[in-house]
Amino acid sequence: MKKTKLRELVIKVSIAVSAIVLVVILAAAGLILQDAKNSIFESTRQSAEVMSKRIGAAMFPREDIFSIHMLVNTMKMDKLVKYAIVSDQKGFIRSHSEPEKIGALDGTPQGEKARRADAALTQSFKGGDGLDYFYFSEPITVGGTRIGTAALAINTETMKPQLEPVKEKLFFIFAAAFLSLILLLEIRNLTIKERNAAALKSAMVHAVSHEFNNALSVIDASVFMLKESEPQKTSLSREDLYQTLEYEQNFLKRMVKNILNEARMEAGKFKIEKRPLLLRDIVSRSLAAMHTLAQNKKISFSRDLPENPVPVNADPEALALVISNLVGNAIKYTPEKGQVVFRLKKDAEKAGYVTFFVENSGAGISEKDISLIKEGFYRSEDAKSSAEGFGLGLKICNEMLELHGARLELKSEPGKSACFYFTLPIMTEKELRAASTISAPSREIRARNGII
């Protein structure tokens, strides 16, 4: 559940960041385009300045009209330039990139304004073709005397080849950010639907489990009353029936508890409360509780438990459920007259750690199933054929161990055996002394370890 909440938080943060990025891109796009335009304007302004100086050299001391026409047409070769023009002080056009206009009077507003200006001038106007034009003029001077005006004109159409690549890049960046935002919003919607579905499933599981528990309580009471009311009629056959009922009751109880705990974990309502526990004693109690089930299948138990208790910091309910599930699974999947081995040993590779092993004879688990077996509702083909169940137990075991910073491990020899195990840190004397609340179990631990 913590992973789900973290995922939702990451999605929310990602959506917020993507939205901010979109706003920044939109704001920056205008600035980037304007900067590209300014770069074009500056380049054209410099070209106009160079042209005016060269035209000045061609007009004095004697006008070289051929050189002037050559310079004007050279400027027009730049695809950015719409037209180039050179006029004298009276406004007559001495050279133009459109030859038919040579000799005519330049009476355009921008031409007149350029001739009146004492310095370089940039103007904008709407052309007869409906496009926006930009007019860059430079006075032609020789020895401090003005003899004419040179100008270059560009428009939005001629600027396109240089602006389009910039616009395309901005569009792709914006589109990528926008699509990311849409994708994140869709993921968020799916997450909300998933959360709602999980909540509905949790509610249904609780309702169904409640009804199961009610039915099991009635069965418990009925079996007890039958035993108490007719003790004289108890026979071997009837005792077998009672044992069968007890076996099925315990199986259903474990299954209901597993389903409830899985629902609680998915809903984030399963909280662990760690405290000092005696791991050896929890294992012993679980084995004692399962002894009847093992006897019914003529399964032999082999125990290898330490003489001294092993103190660990864990949640008693969660740890007992993990061990109970592992022991129950071992018995369930062991064939009749098989063997189950339980070991509780200090880890040889990790100092200060203890490992609990449950190994049972039987079909074992294939390599293919090992990677999937800890997933919810997954059961191997061998498991389906040898025992009933939903495949939730191992998933719950692993999730509860993860809450303790551990994990469920598995090794198997297909056709021979399967071994499940987990490792927990052993509490040190210093940690036991530092326990803020000394519960009965922790007092027992301290007493056995000579601390109090």
Tell me what pLDDT residue 374 has: 57
Q: Could you count the other beta carbons within 10 Å of the beta carbon of residue 83?
A: 19
pTM: 0.49
27, 252, 270, 372 from 263: Cα distances, Å? 47, 16, 9, 20
List the domains of the chain with CATH numbers.
2-162 (3.30.450.20), 272-448 (3.30.565.10)
Tell me what pLDDT residue 206 has: 64
Cis amide bond preceding 61, omega within 30: yes
Tell me what pLDDT residue 385 has: 45
- Two tokens, residue 442: 């922790």
Tell me what pLDDT residue 295 has: 80
Tell me what pLDDT residue 213 has: 67
Order of all β-strands in the sheet with 353-361 = 300-304, 339-346, 353-361, 417-425, 409-413
Per-residue pLDDT of the chain (452 residues; tens, 9 = 90+): 556 677 777 778 888 888 888 888 888 888 889 999 999 999 999 999 999 999 999 988 888 999 999 999 999 999 999 999 999 999 999 999 999 999 999 999 999 999 999 999 999 999 999 999 999 999 999 988 999 999 999 999 999 999 999 989 888 888 887 888 888 788 878 877 777 776 776 666 666 666 676 677 777 777 777 777 766 665 666 776 776 677 667 767 766 776 676 666 666 666 778 889 898 888 888 888 777 778 878 888 888 888 888 899 998 888 888 898 888 888 888 888 899 999 998 876 777 899 999 999 887 787 777 766 655 544 455 544 444 444 566 878 888 898 889 988 988 888 788 899 999 999 888 887 776 543 444 444 444 443 33
